Structure 1
Amino acid sequence: MAMLPAARQLLLSNWIQPSSANEQQQQERAERMVREAIDGSTAFSGSTLKIYTKGSYPNNTNVRRDSDVDVVVELQDCQYYEYLEGRSPAGRKHSPYVGPWTPATWRSAVRAALEAKFGKDSVDTSGTVAINVSAVPNSRPSADVVPSFAFIRYDDPAGITFHEGSCVFPTDGAQKIQNWPRQQLRNGRNLNDRSGRRYKEYVRALKNAENRLSADQVIKDLPSYFMECLVYNVPVATLKYGSLDDGFRETLAYLWENLDNGVAYADWVEPNELKWLFKGHQKWSVGDGKDLVMAAWNYLGYGS
């Protein structure tokens, strides 16, 4: 039976809601406790580091009952860098790092600090990227702690234009992962303002749709960041179109039309605007996007 417009409007109104006040307090507690764990360790004495959250929590795109926290522990002493593809340094000299921190020793020290704070049974190191601190029901959500390094990408041979980010080295030997959380935060806020808050509302709606559809095994489970990326590439005029229901229908229609085009999505980017959405090594594909959009369209009964 097709979903009636009134029922769809009510569902979307629920789906666009951010974390509840209680969930936000628990998220803040998880972040604070990770900071306390790192600050309380003598292993980092003399080193300069930054601790900050990234992902849906600081970007305010997380959905209710899905409130995990990503915390970056970023070493500033050792700075990695690359030049934009096709560029090469023009006689620039970078002093080599001679300190004690390698990806392995840095990860080990962060793990030890977390185990000292939370206990070994609460710290899971089986992941290749993040170290997970388990949730405590009604107290704090789980936290994915990412042992990272400062990273710079130079866009010209002279190194005049550059972007500051972060990088992490997976334990399975895969190539390092570059992240741009500050740019993602800034650009997301900008688009949300220009779209009358529709951007983050529709990100949450699409995340909720994916949660429902993957739980029902209609589609495979997809990274929540992928939904944020997809909606980021929708024009402001489409996001702002009509009512909440009308605008989400037009958003899904725009995504489908362009994903099914074969070339229209070639210049789509992640919200940081420093990485292509469908180029390079990604955890998703164009086909994943099409499956998600079509399944969401059918679930909400837009074609009926």
Structure 2
Amino acid sequence: MQNQLASSSSVHQRRSKTDWENRFASWAASPSATEQQRAENAESMIRSAIQNSPKLSQRTIRVFTQGSYRNRVNVRKDSDVDIGVLCFDSIFPEYPDENVKLARKSLDVSAVYGYAQFKNELEEALVAKFGRPAVSRGSKSFDVSETSYRVEADVAAFFEHRRYTTVNDYLSGVEMIPDDLRPPMIRNWPEQHYSNGVTKNSATSRRFKRVVRILKSLSNEMSANGISSAGRTPSFLVECLVWNAPNANFLNDSYWAMTRSVLAWLFNNTRTDQSCKHWGEVSNLKYLFNASQPWTRAEAHRFISDAWDYVGFD
């Protein structure tokens, strides 16, 4: 971990260990009550949009929060809230083998409600609630602009994804089809992610999520100061990296020592593909590093190394 950042920013170089401890303590804190209320207002209004839709109100739908807001690792720059709209009227199945697939074929009824229709109807509902200027459609989600009353919201349409383990047993996740089909399908496991995050946080005396907030805020500052690896590192990846660190690395008396311990372990264990090939996302149902991910092990290692140097750990 050699310091390659001498010319990128002089601000962080003037901070002492005490200065960093105070900054880390500030970054570790949960969002303010005001920020939380504005996020809850956005969530409530989107639920209302679904309930008031003549088409969607007839469907079996669950509206849920996901991402940083749901998992309580959002920081000040994460000003938006991610909301999923999950329809159970159709499913995307995944089978472990052909025998299970053939057995399910005789049990499953072909869906007549397509994903494209569902997403279009969701757009209609959002426009009816918020007005056309406030709603923009992206390939993966709808953006609902913020006001003084609510934060910006990213609203994604999902069908249930079922990963069958036997003919009758399955893991329930969510799946979407991006408009541009890049990638063709996106599968996520928000409930498992949430549950595993809570378990990790409890096992580390509530320090796991604090370290995530610290490193996400650090990444934001690094990016603002021109550190390119930070700008290329999604906050979701930061959370997953920290989740893979052993619980023992969080058992320190100071945020400075705790952050140093986690970064050191991550640096040493992302040097090679072999050392972290079995790491998972927080859900533990998707590998963190494989060809389907939009990041690589080498990119993650570069960010970790740059974060170490930026703080000035030795």
Q: TM-score range by the shorter chain?
A: over 0.9
Equivalent positions of 1:249-268 (< 5 A) are: 249-268=260-279
**Residue 277 of structure 2 aligns to a residue in which SS?**
helix
Q: Which protein has greater RCO, CA pairs closer than 8 Å, 6+ apart?
A: 2
- Alpha-carbon contact 2:161-2:175 (below 8 Å) kept: yes
Contact 1:223 1:283 in 2 (8 A): no
After TM superposition, give the deviation of residue 203 of structure 1 in Å.
0.6
2:154 to 134, 144, 150: 144
Contact 2:51 2:57 (8 Å CA) reproduced = no
Task: Find the residue that maps to 1:28 and give its secondary structure.
Answer: helix
Question: Is structure 2 residue 106 aligned with structure 1 residue 97?
Answer: no
* 1:188-227 superposed matches below 5 A: 188-219=197-228, 220-227=231-238
Could you list the per-position Cα deviations for residues 19-71 of structure 1 after superposition, in whole angstroms to 9, with x for gaps in the alignment? 11000000000000111111111012431111111111111010124231111
Pick aligned residue for 1:153 from 163, 169, 182: 163
Q: Which residue of 2 aligns with 1:29?
A: 41
**In the alignment, is the contact (CA less than 8 A) between 2:63 and 2:86 conserved in 1?**
yes
1:166 matched residue in structure 2: 174
> How many percent of aligned residue pairs carry the same amino acid?
34
Count of residue pairs the alignment pairs up: 298
Mapped to 2, the partners of 1:284 and 1:257 lie a distance apart of: 18
Q: CA deviation at 1:269?
A: 0.3
Residue 54 of structure 1 corresponds to 66
User: How do residues 235-246 of structure 1 correspond to structure 2 at under 5 angstroms?
Assistant: 235-246=246-257
> Residue 68 of structure 1 contacts residue 141 of structure 1 at CA under 8 Å; is this kept in 2?
yes
User: Partner of 1:269 in structure 2?
Assistant: 280
Cα distance between partner residues in 2 of 1:43 and 1:133: 20
Whole-angstrom distance in 2 between the partners of 1:301 and 1:266: 28
Deviates more, 1:206-215 or 1:23-32: 206-215
Q: Which structure 2 segments of 5+ residues have no match?
A: 1-12
Residues 84-106 of structure 1: CA distance to partner in whole angstroms, max 9, x if unpaired?
4798536333423343x212111
**How far apart are 1:161 and its partner, in Å?**
4.1
CA distance in 2, matches of 1:104, 1:216: 41
2:140, 2:118 → 1: CA distance?
13
CA–CA distance in 1 between the matches of 2:44 and 2:243? 30
Query: What is the identity, as a one-letter code, of the residue corresponding to 1:144?
Result: D
Give 1:288 deviation, angstroms: 2.1
The 8 Å contact of residues 19 and 65 in structure 1, kept in 2 or not, is answered as no
For the structure 1 residues 45 and 6, does the alpha-carbon distance in structure 2 shift closer, same or farther, using more than 3 Å as the test?
A: closer
Q: CA RMSD in A?
A: 1.7
